[in-house]
Amino acid sequence: MNAKILALVVFPGVAAAQGFAGLGTDAAGFSVPQPDPVFDFPTDHGPHPDYRIEWWYLTANLEGPNGTPYGLQWTLFRSALAPDAGEGWTAPQLWMGHAAVTTPDAHFVTERLARGGIGQAGVTATPFAAWIDDWQLAGTFDVARMTASGPDFAYDMDLTATGPLIFHGDAGYSVKSAKGQASYYYSQPFYEVSGTLTLPTGEVPVTGSAWLDREWSSQPLAEDQSGWDWFSLSFDDGSKMMGFLLRQTDGSAYSSGTWIDPESTTPYGDGAFAATPLRWAKVAGRDIPVSWQVTLPERGVDVTVTAINDAAWMDTSVPYWEGPVTVTGSHEGQGYLEMTGYE
């Protein structure tokens, strides 16, 4: 479900008891996702300002000419301070961008913050364009160019979708807790990618695959959910899997998953998808699980998911771990792992 981390600038002063990063706060005045959604494209690729929080979230697994693996992240978050409309500096929308590049021995990350209503950041559906300052993800959604830069890295990537949009949960209505919190959630997990990474050591041409998540809600977590572990895995046989655990303060977890075949998509509710830490590492002063056993028994999945770089820490307004992973076991492949709420 990808670091839907809207930072302290989004929910200033929230209490820890209101869910991770305040995402369990009451949604009074905002629209709330309802079952049986009807999506409207390309309109729904654009923003939904009547909902409190939303994101355009892309991760990519890349390879350089000598076989070196790289990971790439590009994310734009939108949040609303209030459900009312406004123009210019009175617009209640806040925007936050995260960009990162991960190598086997380095992790580069930077953040951008912007106010809505003044043209510094935003999203349009037709033509599709998401931007904050000079970062952009723009094109037709199926074919797009993506750019970002930080103090010590940059990237310029071309994306081409080779498969359909995937809808999680019940036709895009993704339940997040036993209490019924939910979001609208779909993905484009079939991007082919090519472009150039610019690192302190120079430019690196890369190719690979990417996964884009689109999600919006107003209260996606319950007040007793302290963080999540989210997996997007692409297997060598062409199948894919998304799964997440939402950790409860009592030590239990709520889970959900989606199995993606080239011909079909199957959602799995709470308890079908499971993930158990195998190895922990000290990262940014925190104990972080960087290797996992991941299972989906109904699909014969029993794999070990391992970080390419243990230190893929996002030192942003609300910090979290996000990085590329390898997959071994019943299925071979690669993917991305995101973990929040580890202190």
For the stretch 50-100, pLDDT in tens is 998 999 999 999 999 999 999 999 999 998 887 666 666 667 789 999 999
Judge whether 31 lies within some domain: no
Q: Is residue 171 pLDDT above 90, yes or no?
A: yes
**Distance (Å, rounded) from C-alpha 106 to C-alpha 70?**
10
* pLDDT value of position 81: 81
pLDDT at res. 181: 87
Residue 108 belongs to domain with CATH number: 2.40.370.10
Helix, strand, coil % over all residues of the chain, rounded to 5: 5, 55, 40
Q: Kindly report, residue by residue over 147-161, the tens digit of the pLDDT.
A: 999 999 999 999 999
Is 214 domain-assigned?
yes
- Report the pLDDT value the prediction gives residue 15, as an integer from 0 to 100: 36
133 and 121 Cβ atoms separated by less than 8 Å: yes
Asked, for residue 283, whether it belongs to a domain, the answer is yes
Task: With a cut of 90, say whether residue 303 has pLDDT above it.
Answer: yes
Cα 123 to Cα 313: distance, rounded to the nearest angstrom: 27
pLDDT at 3 over 60: no
- Return mean pLDDT, the chain: 90
Higher pLDDT, 17 or 224: 224
Alpha carbons 247 and 228: distance in angstroms, whole number: 6
User: Left, alpha or beta for 22 (phi > 0: left; psi -120 to 50: alpha)?
Assistant: left
Task: Tell me, yes or no, whether 30 lies in a domain.
Answer: no
Residue pLDDT, tens place only, 174-216:
999 888 889 999 999 999 999 999 999 999 999 999 999 999 9
- The DSSP element (H or E) to which 9 belongs, if any, is helix 7-10
| Domains of the chain: total | 1
In a domain, 322, yes or no: yes
**In the chain, % of residues over pLDDT 90:** 76
- Which whole-number Å values give the CA distances from 244 to 22, 92, 276, in the listed order? 19, 30, 12
Q: What are phi and psi of 299, to 5 degrees?
A: -115, 10
DSSP single-letter state for residue 258 = E
Whole domain around residue 252: which residue ranges? 3-25+44-339
Is 39 inside a domain boundary?
Answer: no
92 contacts 244 by C-beta, under 8 angstroms: no
- Residue written as tokens 């991760």? 59
**Token pair for 118:** 């003044």
Q: Which of 28-32, 215-219, 291-295, 315-319 holds the top average pLDDT?
A: 291-295
Task: Write out pLDDT tens, residues 107-128.
Answer: 999 999 998 778 899 999 999 9
Residue 81 lies in a domain: yes
pTM for this prediction: 0.90
At residue 224, the pLDDT reads 78
Tell me what pLDDT residue 87 has: 67
Residue 295 lies in a domain: yes
